[in-house]
Every structure is written in C-alpha cells, then in structure tokens.
Structure 1
Amino acid sequence: MKKIFQFLGLALLLFLIYFGYITYPKLDLISGFSAKSMASGHFIDSRSQEMIEQGDNDIPKINWATNKIDENGKFATSTVYGLKERKAIYREGLGVTLINDDFDITKPYKVPKRTKLINNLPFPYGNNEPKDTLFSNIDYAKLEKAVANVFDKKGVKKNRTRAVLVIYKDKIIAEKYDTGFNKDSKILGWSMTKSVTATLFGILQKQGKLDINKPAPVTEWAKDERAKITLANLLNMNSGLEWEEDYTKICDATLMLFATEDMSQSQLVKPAQFKPNTHWNYSSGTTNLLSGILRKQFKTHQEYLDFWYAALIDKIGMNSMIVETDMAGNYAGSSYGWATTRDWAKFGLLYLHKGNWNGTPLFDEKWMQFVTTPTPTSNGKYGGQFWLNVAGKYPSAPKNMFYCSGYQGQKIFILPSQDMVIVRMGLTDDNQFDFNGFLKGILGSLKE
C-alpha cells in the first residue's frame, strides 16, 4: 500500500511539474483566445454561448476555458480552472478587443464613419436579393451535389463547413449554409483579412500616395540593415525579419494576438535574420506592421479608421464587415475581419474584375500583377498577401487561381479562367478538409 501511495505521489508531482512548466504559461493565451472568441461571436454575430463553445472554441486546450458573457457590460470573461482570467470588450464600430488590466475602459474612443450602399441593384453591386439566373453550361445537379457533399449530417463533426457560395459571371449559382447560419451571419475570416489589408496599399498606390517598391517608412529601421526592407518585401512576406508563427504553442504570433497592446509593434522590433527577398516566412506580425504603417499615412487616427471603409469595404458594399482593433486602436489587419459570406464573395469579385467595381477602378493592373506574381522565395505558393496555385497545390484547379486563406479553412477562391468566385467558411483546413475534391466537384459542373 505504501508503494502505491508513493507511486501516486510521484505521479502527482510529475503532473504538477508538467503543468507548471509546460501548461501554466499557456493559460493566459487559452483564456485570452476563449474570451475574445466568445465576445466576438456573441456581440458581432449574436451567437449563443453554447454555440460558440461547441463550434468556435471546440479546439484542444481552448475548450478547457470557463466563459461568462455580460450582456449589459458587453464583454466576456474566461478562465482556465479558475486561473488567468481574461476579458474582451465589445465597442460598437470597433468590434471586440481583448484587454489587459491596464486598459482604461472609460476612456473615449473614435469609431470609423460608415456609409451604407443604397441603390436598387441586386447582389453583388447592390444589397438587394440576387436575380435568379440559369446558365445552360452548368450542370446544376452536379453542382448541388458537390456543395452538399462538404456539409456534415446532423451530429457529425467532420467537414464542419458553415457556408459555401459559388458565383459565376457575377451571379450566385450555389449557396448553402449549415444549421445556425444564413446569408446574414457574420463569420470571422481570420487571415483572409490580410488580403483586405494589402488591398489598401494597392489603393493608395493607385492614388499616387505611396510606392510599394520603396523602403518601408519605419523610422526605427533607418540606421540598421532593416532600412533596405521595402513595402513590397513586407507584402510578399520575404522581409527577412525574425518571426515564429505556430499556433500550437507560445510564439510571436500567439503573444501578439492574445497578449499585446499594440500589435503593429510585434514585428517592427524583430531583428533581421536574412537579407530581404531571400527567405519567405509567413508572418501575421508583418501584416499588423503594415496596418501600423497605414496608420502613419494619415494625419489623424480618425482618417485612418475611416479610410479602410470609405476606400474599400463600404465602397464595394461589404456593409456587414467589421475589422476589429487592438488596444492601441490599430486594425488587427492580420486576422480580425468579420463579414457575411456574400460580402466576403464581393471582395473576391473585386479581384476577379481586376480592381474594377461596377465601373469604378479601385486599384490598377500593376497591383493585380504584383499580388498574383509568386514571391521568389515562396516556391510558387504566395504572392502579395494572397495565396497562389501556380505550383499546383490544388491540382484539379487551374494554376492561375489565387485565393485568400484563413485559419480553419476560410477561403475565397478566385478563378479568372472560369469567371468564378468560390467561398467556403468553416472549422477545418487542408489537413482535414478535401479542398481539392471540393474544387474539382464544383468545376466539374461546368460543361465543356
């Protein structure tokens, strides 16, 4: 009996050591993710706590958290085993911000000015319902089957698709939502937001207000080797700056998103590991640095806040979209864009039409060429904050397809040769979801 107690005591000691050194430091990030997800899902998209916990937060370790939503205060709190409480607050116009104990919730804050697209046009160039259109070269039975196949039956968690939308020649030819979601549901695009952030640089370049081939305007780099880094290098993710992006552990990316006041600083302070344009390294910190650089292009914070919507988001009628901010008031351009599936599709259409939105050019051909040209160091898989199929990652899709991609399989596929945009929103990525088969099925519905 004594030996049994000794064994149990040793096992408990080993567990406490493991918990103390391996798990305990992660609790801040776990409760931070959970609180942020809980508040955003509830206050932006009106999801219930149960729905969020069984969907968005159904992730290993994140599901350890205990969550509370305060309707009157418009915030959510999360703890892990009663430890490391984190709080995320909702502010109209800015979405949800994960805050720390030093954040002054009583301090006045600015919000972006929004404009609503009001006209008598149907989707996509207006917010009226789309017109029913039948194309003789589409096998609708095949299309419907291809779309239906990626949704789970009740009680099953395999594909975990939430929404699919297929647009052909500016017309919706397929649209389907999982239980609990519909055309008005706002869904987090995660890193698809990077492509939105990048587009603002294309707009400013067309307006003659910046040149992406010039050194990045970062004064902190002026006297060291980082002074040679261009805006194009940052957009291509080949700046050579140090950065670790691994969401399974404490790293630069997780610390930035869940433990940093000013996300624009996380990449800025990193040293150079390589010369620019010699090494590709995916970095959410780089995109948030770009958001900070955008902010400095304007005289006031209000102008920065307004520009994202006036120049792009509301300009193309993405009126459901909201890009959330960090504690310092920067848009979290790497990750925190929310919109309906139809509005995400509008963004894809903007690129399908090379920046021309219903007769109004927002960016030019030079920008299109930049974002769709492979970064020299990415093995053909990445351009300017867009992913590419040049190397044939999805062999059943054309190689000139390019796409926005976010955590857990948020995708906007843009297929110029087919005049098509395909949006899929869900909770599973390539390691679990057959995107190639999904694309193959949809493309197979197009008759020769």
Structure 2
Amino acid sequence: MRSVGSLLKRLAKIVLVLLLLVVAGGLVWLYTMPPDLLRVGSGYAAKIVCSNVFLAGRDENDVLAEDVQAPGHPLLRLMRVSVDRPAQRVSAALLGQIAPSAAVYRPGLGCAVVPQGSTAAALDLPEAGPGAAVQAGAGSWPNGEGIEANAAVAALLARDDLVGPGFRAVVVVKNGAIVGERYAAGFNDKTPLLGWSMTKTVNAALIGRLIDEGRMRLDERNLMPQWAGDARRDITLAQLLAMESGLAFNEDYGTVADVTRMLYLQPDMAAFTASLPLEGTPGQRFSYSSGTAVLLSRIWMDRLSDRATALAFPRDALFAPLGMTSAVMEVDASGTFVGSSYLYASARDWARFGLFLAQNGMWKGVRLLPDGFVASMAEPTTASGGWYSRMQTWLPRPSERADMPADTFNLQGHDGQTITVIPSRGLVVVHLGLTPWSARYSTMPLTKAILRVYP
C-alpha cells in the first residue's frame, strides 16, 4: 500500500509540474504576442458586443459566446467584456485585464471602437435624428407586414442543407412580395442583423443617389486632398467602385493587416486608407479592399453641405424612402460612415434594399438611382476575371453560373451574409447569420431551387 501511495504522490507532483508549465507557457505566449494583435481582438469584441447590445437588444453574454468566441480563436476565447448601459459603453480585454479596448454607442450612428484619445470626438457628433416613420402593420410587405407565403418555398426553407449552417434569417421575395422566410431560434423579422460587406453595395447606392442629383460623376478625379501632389490624384470614382484603384491595402483578416488595423485600431479609417501608396496602375488590377469603401464614404460625405447633413443622408436619401426603419449605418470615431462593413438592419429591411435593386433603382414609381446604375452591378470587370462587378457587388462563381440568368448578382459579406438579386426574374434571396467561409456554403442551390418553383 505504501508503494501505491508513494506512486500516487509522485504522479500528483508530475501533474502539478505539468500544469504549472502549461500555465507558465500560456502566460509567456500571451505576453509575447504583438500588442496590436491583442488590441485588434479586444477592439473586435468590444465593437461587436456594443452594436448587438445597443442596436439589436441582445444579451452581451450571448453575443460574446455566439458571435465573438464561436469561431474558436484562442485570443477571442479569452476575451471578457463589460457593458456600462448608462454610459452606453462596452469595454473588452484579454482575461479582463490585458490589452483593453472600448466601444461607445451614439444614437442613430451606432457603435465605434475608440482608440486611446478618441472617445470625446466620437461622442461629439451631431445626432442623426429619429429614424424613418414607423409604417403601419396593415397591408402587404413592403408597405406593411403581410406576406404571401408559398408552400413550395416554405418546404425549401425548411431544409437545413439549403439554408446552411449558422443561418439566422432567410427571406425570399418574388415579384415584390415575401413568399417565404425562416428565422433561427432567438431571432425574428424585427432583429437588426449585421450585413458586413453587403454594406459596400448600400454605400454605392448612396453614391448613386448623389450621381442622380448631379453632385458626383463616375469619371471624377482629384478625390482626396492628400493625393493632390502625386499619381493618386488620377484615380477615378469608377475605379474605386470597381476595386481597381491601384492603392495598397492588405485585406487578410488572419493578421494585423491593413483591414484589421483600420477597423479596430484607427479612429479615422478614411485618413488611414488615404495615406497608403499606390502599388499598381489605377484601372489595371483588381484588389478587393474594405479601405476603398471607407474612402468612398468620406468622398460622398464631403460633397454635402455640413456634417449633420452628411450623417443624416443615408436615412433621408435611402432608408426612409424604402421604409428601412431598422437600418443603422455606423460611423467610426471620426464620424465617417464605415461603408465597408457596418450596417445593421432586419432581414425584411435588407430584403427591401434587394427589392429596390431588383426594380432597377425604382421605388413606388420614383427613380432614386440613375438608369443603368443597377445594371452595372451585374456587369463583370475584366481585371477581376469576371468575379466582381463595376459597382460593389459579386457575380456567381463560374461553377454556379449554369442555369442562372445573366443579370444575377450578389451582395456578399463575411460569415455568409448574402443577398442574391435577379432583376429579370423579380427574385431576391436574403441570407443572414454566422456561416463561416470554411463551411463552403452557397445560396446558389437554394436560389436555383426557388427558380424551379417559378419556371
């Protein structure tokens, strides 16, 4: 018995030593990681929790577990958040202490990460004011909330293989009516959901509104004051919209690249992107860039008379006419719309925007976008190899184009946010959720199945 007891004590000591080594190694790993990488992680956690708490009314613990930590990255797994509701502020840090970041909420303007020294400026912005007048619930969507459910479409949406893993909302619009929708547990037709890079297409539509009013042109140059003395002055608005500016920008989300530095470490995202050099001849090479979309926001905002007018423009020019009462486009700490990434809206309001595009930029008989503007969203660029359009949208993959109408295009965002628009068939398919790229999910099988319902 003594030998057994002695052996157990030895094993216990070995286990303790191993645990201490693991803890020590973990602490060394944490404290030797690049500080900027840690702050990107905490900035991301603070921003996502802030927006979902104050815009979507969700519980911060659910958001932390389901939205921030679910991807399984070890840094994000160790993030802790604190929500100060009276101050409308969220703090986040690794293990609650290391590399802290914060985000603040501004009514009508959403949340922004506030790097050190930028909190006061982020809060000192004119309020965007109240949203569009809430529509009465009577009548059919999009004017009211009534839908025209189709049993065959409902059967398709009931199939998990077609709606994909991690979906939160799927809405199908045919000829101006919602014919099917499905929501995951905890979400409904009123829940604002993040569109990520689908925001880029909404940002383009805001530029379209200004083009329609004669305040912008696609062939314009000299777009940023910082570019006046070098070759960047020759970049055109059309080249920015087609992602062919030639500007350097690293879109790799796995590191502290330009895109993560811009989104989570920079108080003025447009100034950061505008400072980057040319790495190619404008118009010659496709390079997908979220920085480009933020530049586009700054450019169109500068065309308006004052900051208050610019901050109200998405609501006044687009959301109110379309009845997108839930839509909030967020601004960074400097007051520039993050036109690359941050628009929250309910699935039905995202569907309203999709229907607007399917109707060639018309709404209730009124033209809001120039004729041909939406058609350019289905026009492939040579530089992108046919994958991207001239107007901030994606085209179906070559393997998916069989049996698809030629005017099909997609709004597409991180984690499976997609709106497929087919104007010639009057079809819009909205998919929102947390569907990682690694799942290789595509809405094309669902879209093709819906097309077969309406031959």
Same-fold call, TM > 0.5?
yes
Question: SS of the residue aligned with 1:280?
Answer: coil
Q: Is the 8 A contact 1:90 1:96 kept in 2?
A: yes
CA contact (8 A) 2:42 2:79 kept: yes
Aligned counterparts of 2:244 and 2:48: Cα–Cα separation in 1: 30
1:423 to 408, 430, 451: 430
Counterpart pick for 2:85 among 71, 74, 77: 71
Q: Does 1:436 align with 2:450?
A: no
* The one of 124, 127, 134 aligned to 1:111: 127
Distance of 1:336 and 1:354 partners within structure 2: 24
Partner Cα distance (2:17, 2:83) in 1: 43
**Aligned-partner residue type, residue 344 of structure 1:** W
- Of 164-173 and 221-230, more deviation after overlay is shown by 221-230
Q: Distance in 1 between matches of 2:396 and 2:16?
A: 59
Alpha-carbon offset, residue 439 of structure 1: 2.4
Which residue of the partner structure matches residue 301 of structure 1? 307
Describe the superposition over 1:388-417 as per-residue Cα deviations: whole angstroms up to 9, x where unpaired. 227454546434210111110111110123
Relative to total residues, which structure has the larger helix share, 1 or 2? 2
Instruction: Find the counterpart in structure 1 of residue 116 from structure 2.
Output: 101
Residue matched to 2:4: none
Native 8 Å contact 2:199 2:340 kept in 1: yes
Bigger drift between 211-220 and 327-336 goes to: 211-220
Query: How far apart are the structure 2 equivalents of 1:108 and 1:389?
Result: 43
Alignment of 1:219-298 (within 5 A): 219-298=225-304
1 CA distance for matches of 2:105 and 2:212? 34
Matches of 1:75 and 1:117 in 2, distance apart?
27
Structure 2 CA distance for aligned equivalents of residues 133 and 174 of structure 1: 5
1:86 and 2:94 correspond? no
Deviation at 1:112, TM superposition (A): 1.6
Q: 1:343 aligns with which of 344, 349, 366?
A: 349
Secondary structure of 2:229's match? Answer: coil
- Alpha carbons of structure 1 residues 122 and 411: separation in structure 2 relative to 1, 3 Å: farther
- How far apart are the structure 2 equivalents of 1:68 and 1:174? 38
Are the equivalent residues in 1 in contact too, given 2:141–2:147 (CA < 8 A)? no
Q: Contact 1:316 / 1:346 at 8 angstroms: preserved in 2?
A: yes
Percent of counterpart pairs with the same letter?
Answer: 30
1:24-423 alignment to 2 at 5 Å? Answer: 24-57=35-68, 58-59=70-71, 60=73, 61-81=75-95, 82-105=97-120, 108-113=124-129, 114-116=131-133, 118=135, 122-126=139-143, 128-132=144-148, 140-141=151-152, 143-150=153-160, 159-383=165-389, 384-389=391-396, 391-393=398-400, 395=402, 397-423=404-430
Q: CA deviation at 1:325?
A: 0.9
Contact map agreement 2:268 2:332 (CA 8 A) in 1: yes
Gaps of at least 5 residues in structure 2 are: 1-9
- What one-letter code is carried by the residue in structure 1 that aligns with 2:139? P
The structure-2 alpha-carbon separation of the partners of 1:124 and 1:392, relative to structure 1 and needing over 3 Å to count, comes to: farther
Cα deviation, residue 12, structure 1: 7.8
**What CA distance in whole angstroms lies between the structure 2 residues aligned with 1:75 and 1:395?**
49
The answer to whether the Cα contact below 8 Å between 2:386 and 2:395 also exists between their aligned partners in 1 is: yes
Distance change in 2, residues 1:427/1:390 (3 Å): closer
Q: Is the 8 A contact 2:416 2:431 kept in 1?
A: yes
Deviations 1:81-111 (A, max 9, x none): 2201111111211111111231344964201
Q: Which moved more, 1:261-270 or 1:248-257?
A: 261-270
* Structure 1 pair 121–218 and aligned structure 2 pair: CA distance change class (3 A): farther
Q: Which deviates more, 15-24 or 365-374?
A: 15-24
Deviations 1:150-175 (A, max 9, x none): 3899xxxx701000000111111101
Q: Kindly indicate whether the alpha-carbon contact (under 8 Å) linking 1:78 and 1:85 is maintained by their aligned counterparts in 2.
A: yes
Q: Does structure 2 retain, via aligned residues, the 8 Å contact 1:151–1:178? A: no
> What are the superposed Cα offsets for residues 264-295 of structure 1, whole Å, 9 maximum, x if unpaired?
11221111111011110110000001111112
Aligned residues: 436
Q: CA deviation at 1:9?
A: 9.5
User: Bigger CA drift: 5-14 or 305-314?
Assistant: 5-14
Q: Distance in 1 between matches of 2:184 and 2:149?
A: 24
SS at match of 1:408: helix
Q: Does structure 2 retain, via aligned residues, the 8 Å contact 1:150–1:438?
A: no
> 1:14 deviation in Å?
6.8
- Counterpart of 1:244, as a letter, is N
Q: Sort the Cα spacing of 1:8 and 1:52 in 2 relative to 1 into closer, same or farther, 3 A.
A: closer
Give yes or no for contact 1:391–1:399 (8 Å, CA) kept in 2. Answer: no
Match of 2:83, SS?
strand
Native 8 Å contact 1:388 1:401 kept in 2: yes
Contact 1:396 1:439 in 2 (8 A): no
Deviates more, 1:101-110 or 1:174-183: 101-110
Post-superposition offset of 1:315 = 1.5
